[in-house]
């Protein structure tokens, strides 16, 4: 109705551009109900199967774009149902031959009761309690098997479609049973068997597909092969929710991958998944993503520090990199070995990426403490730190959180104007010699400027560090311990956010300081005002508490209800008046001074 009202107003205005925009908005807002209406009215007029291929191919391309953007490796084999219809028909014929499926009005249904009645078979292996559950069957099958016309064709409500006779306007292929299309479950069994053979070692899918989809896959595949085990292991992933609710097109609370990538990087999205168990529900929320961002920041800063230390230590005299290990470094090496063992154990335990990353977090935190406490006074063991950083980087490569060729340390920086993972390069080797020379020159200039007290030159040096270099994706960190300034390549967007956050924090501190100053000033003003009150008059304004006062002392004699002030209460009031007398006398004395 809102879109209709806007269109009416636009037509009334007579402005062509507004009318065009209102028309587009109306079509956009009404596309879902309009699609359903057109499908019900004109859907039967569709006679070309090509339309059912063109649209899926478009979305297939969009899917692959999203996968590339998330650094998901392409599949070894991709199958399309429309390309495997002959294999599916042959697959169904074999099940019929084995007496476990039957034809009805051009459709073919799987005979669940007969299958389950055979000693070598068992239906609903994954969710036994769902056998005969009409609600779950309806959710899984929809009108394909549970519509009123379909139920009349089946021997049992539990039977499911292997092949469905097509109605006018629906896609169809020729078959021994007439024009129709494959059922939902049979296509997966037939295509998987065509590529992988008679059984699967591992089968994956969402936990909501256990029944009826995966249970029906198992039944029809075992019926086809005459076996009792088509799949050795199932890995069922947990649901993805958003702000605690299941993502749903009908609820319009879903987030597309492209929308998610506008807010967070592919690395951050992958870390969000890696920091949770694959078999549990993951809630896509600000809190979940903040955990991933913090984890990325922890590792990112560690990688940058190690690369900076490695440049200064390893690039110096070779012998400086091989000092005798201290007890702390020996302990760090032991922790490194324990972490690698913990990561291996976690991944062997049901691919527990969360525990693996927790182990890495502990190791990196220990390294950060070592760097902080031993940066001065002696040469840091940069080779040990580099080994640890290389291991962490390699693990992130394995997890897909870092794209591009393996090798090197940390998250790679994309060259300006690059596109795609092939263009992601590590720029350190190219630009760092120039940046190091610039940093050394700046350090020398600052030292001379301090000696000469040339504040304008010092401001220019600060501007180079705080404004010019960050805009180019370079973070320069001055050190107070006499060691060379640290140089780190960081995405310019990240540095801009850090700078804004720093400015916001400084503004907050100034605001907080001003607030406290104002509070102190107000408190002092109230204190000064209190000192000026004559003790004889201090209670006279409190008419909401007292109704009568002693003319000589100003002390209350009756409360607001007309009751006499008790001795105990009067004693307290006298103490308050005595304290005010002291403050009042100090005030009078200050006036004389």
441: left (phi over 0), alpha (psi -120 to 50) or beta: alpha
Judge if 18 and 128 occupy the same domain: no
- Domain end: 362, 377, 412, which one? 412
Q: Is 142 part of a structural domain of the chain?
A: yes
Max Cα distance, the chain (Å): 118
Task: Determine the pLDDT at residue 483.
Answer: 78
Q: What is the CATH number of the domain that holds 93?
A: 3.40.50.620
Q: Are residues 482 and 559 in the same domain?
A: no
Q: Are residues 90 and 55 in the same domain?
A: no
pLDDT at 147: 57
237: pLDDT strictly greater than 60 = yes
Residue 355: the pLDDT is 98
In a domain, 467, yes or no: yes
Question: Does 249 score more than 80 pLDDT?
Answer: no
Residue 424's pLDDT is 45
pLDDT of residue 427: 72
For residue 148, the model assigns a pLDDT of 59
For residue 418, pLDDT beyond 60: no
Predicted confidence band of residue 36 (pLDDT cuts 50, 70, 90): low
Is the confidence at residue 383, as pLDDT, over 50?
A: yes
Write out pLDDT tens, residues 105-126: 999 999 999 999 999 999 999 9
Which of the four pLDDT bands, split at 50, 70 and 90, describes residue 423? very low
In a domain, 20, yes or no: yes
75 part of a folded domain: no
**204-234 tens-digit pLDDT:** 999 999 999 999 999 999 999 999 999 999 9
Domain count, the chain: 5
Judgement on whether residues 161 and 288 belong to the same structural domain of the protein: no
Please, which residues bridge with residue 34 across strands? none
- Residue predicted with more confidence, 56 or 396: 396
Q: From 226, 208, 82, 92, select the one nearest 160 (Cα to Cα).
A: 92
* Mean of per-residue pLDDT scores for the chain: 89
- For 62-66, 243-247, 499-503, which range has the lowest pLDDT when averaged over its residues? 243-247
Q: Are residues 278 and 395 in the same domain?
A: yes
Q: In this structure, are strands 245-246 and 240-242 parallel, antiparallel, or unpaired?
A: antiparallel
- Taking a C-beta distance cutoff of 8 angstroms, is the pair 252, 246 a contact? no
- Is the domain of 217 the same as that of 340? no
Half-sphere exposure at residue 443, Cβ-oriented, CA atoms within 13 angstroms: 17
> Residue 312's domain is classified under what CATH number?
1.10.730
**Domain closes at, from 12, 42, 69:** 69
List pLDDT tens digits, range 520-562.
999 999 888 888 999 999 999 899 999 999 999 999 999 999 9
Residue 318 included in any domain: yes
Residues 176 and 132 in one domain: yes
In what helix (H) or strand (E) does residue 451 lie, and over which residues does it extend? helix 428-452
Residue 200 lies in a domain: yes
Q: Are residues 453 and 323 in the same domain?
A: no
One domain, residues 306 and 386: yes
Alpha-helical regions (H) of 168-285: 184-196, 215-225, 257-263, 266-274
The residue out of 10, 37, 69 marking a domain boundary is 69
Q: Which pLDDT score is estimated for 376?
A: 65
User: Is residue 99 domain-shared with residue 224, that is, in the same domain?
Assistant: yes
Cβ-based neighbours of 313, under 8 Å, separated by 6 or more: 320, 321, 379, 380, 382
Looking at the fold, whether 290 and 398 belong to one and the same domain comes out as: yes
State what percent of residues in the chain have pLDDT above 70: 90
Identify whether 502 is part of a domain: no
Question: 417 in a domain, yes or no?
Answer: no
Per-residue pLDDT at 43: 56
Query: Which residue's entry shows tokens 């920091």?
Result: 275
In which domain, by residue range, is 189 found? 81-237
Residues 398 and 308 in one domain: yes
């Amino acid at each position: 109705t809102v879109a209709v009202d806007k269109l009416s107003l636009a037509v009334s205005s007579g402005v062509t551009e507004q009318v065009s925009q209102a028309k587009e908005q109306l079509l956009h807002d009404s596309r879902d109900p309009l699609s359903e209406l057109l499908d019900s009215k004109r859907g039967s007029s569709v006679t070309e199967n090509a339309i059912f291929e063109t649209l899926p191919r478009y979305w297939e391309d969009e899917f692959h774009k999203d996968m590339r953007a998330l650094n998901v490796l392409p599949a070894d084999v991709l199958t399309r149902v429309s390309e495997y219809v002959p294999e599916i028909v042959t697959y169904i014929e074999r099940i019929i031959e084995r007496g476990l499926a039957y034809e009805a009005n051009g459709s073919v249904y799987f005979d669940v009761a007969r299958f389950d009645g055979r000693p070598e078979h068992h239906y609903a292996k994954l969710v036994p309690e769902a056998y005969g559950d009409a609600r779950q069957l309806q959710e899984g099958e929809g009108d394909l098997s549970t519509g009123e016309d379909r139920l009349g064709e089946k021997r049992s409500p539990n039977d499911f479609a292997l092949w469905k006779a097509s109605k006018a306007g629906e896609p169809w292929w020729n078959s021994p049973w007439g024009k129709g299309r494959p059922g939902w479950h049979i296509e997966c069994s037939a295509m998987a068997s065509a590529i992988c053979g008679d059984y699967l070692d591992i089968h994956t899918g969402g936990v909501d597909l256990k029944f009826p989809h995966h249970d029906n896959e198992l039944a029809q595949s075992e019926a086809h092969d005459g076996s009792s085990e088509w799949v050795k292991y199932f890995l069922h992933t947990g649901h993805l929710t958003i702000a605690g609710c299941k993502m749903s097109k009908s609820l319009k609370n879903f987030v597309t991958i492209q929308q998610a990538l506008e807010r967070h990087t592919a690395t951050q999205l992958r870390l969000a998944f890696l920091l949770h168990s694959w078999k549990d529900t993951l809630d896509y929320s600000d809190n979940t993503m903040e955990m991933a961002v913090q984890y990325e920041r922890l590792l990112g800063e560690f990688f940058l520090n190690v690369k900076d230390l490695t440049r200064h230590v390893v690039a110096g005299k070779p012998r400086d990199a091989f000092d005798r290990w201290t007890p702390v470094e020996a302990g760090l090496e032991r922790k490194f070995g324990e972490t690698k063992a913990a990561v291996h154990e976690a991944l062997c335990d049901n691919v527990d990426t969360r525990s693996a990353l927790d182990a890495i977090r502990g190791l990196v935190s220990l390294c950060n403490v070592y760097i902080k406490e031993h940066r001065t006074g002696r040469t840091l063991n940069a080779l040990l730190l580099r080994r640890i950083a290389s291991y962490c980087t390699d693990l992130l490569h394995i997890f897909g959180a870092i794209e591009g060729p393996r090798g090197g340390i940390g998250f790679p920086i994309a060259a300006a104007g690059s596109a795609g993972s092939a263009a992601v390069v590590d720029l350190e080797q190219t630009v760092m010699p120039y940046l190091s020379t610039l940093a050394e020159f700046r350090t020398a200039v600052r030292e001379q400027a301090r000696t000469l007290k040339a504040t304008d030159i010092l401001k220019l040096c600060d501007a180079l560090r705080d404004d010019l270099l960050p805009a180019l994706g370079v973070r320069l960190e001055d050190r107070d311990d006499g060691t060379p300034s640290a140089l780190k390549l960081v995405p310019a967007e990240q540095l801009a956010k850090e700078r804004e956050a720093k400015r916001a924090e400084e503004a907050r501190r100034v605001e907080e300081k001003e607030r406290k100053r104002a509070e102190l000033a107000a408190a002092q003003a109230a204190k000064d005002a209190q000192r000026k009150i004559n003790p004889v008059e201090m209670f006279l304004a409190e008419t909401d508490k007292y109704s009568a006062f002693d003319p000589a002392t100003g002390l209350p004699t009756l409360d607001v209800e007309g009751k006499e002030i008790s001795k105990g209460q009067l004693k307290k009031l006298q103490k308050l008046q005595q304290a005010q007398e002291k403050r009042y006398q100090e005030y009078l004395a200050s006036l004389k001074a």
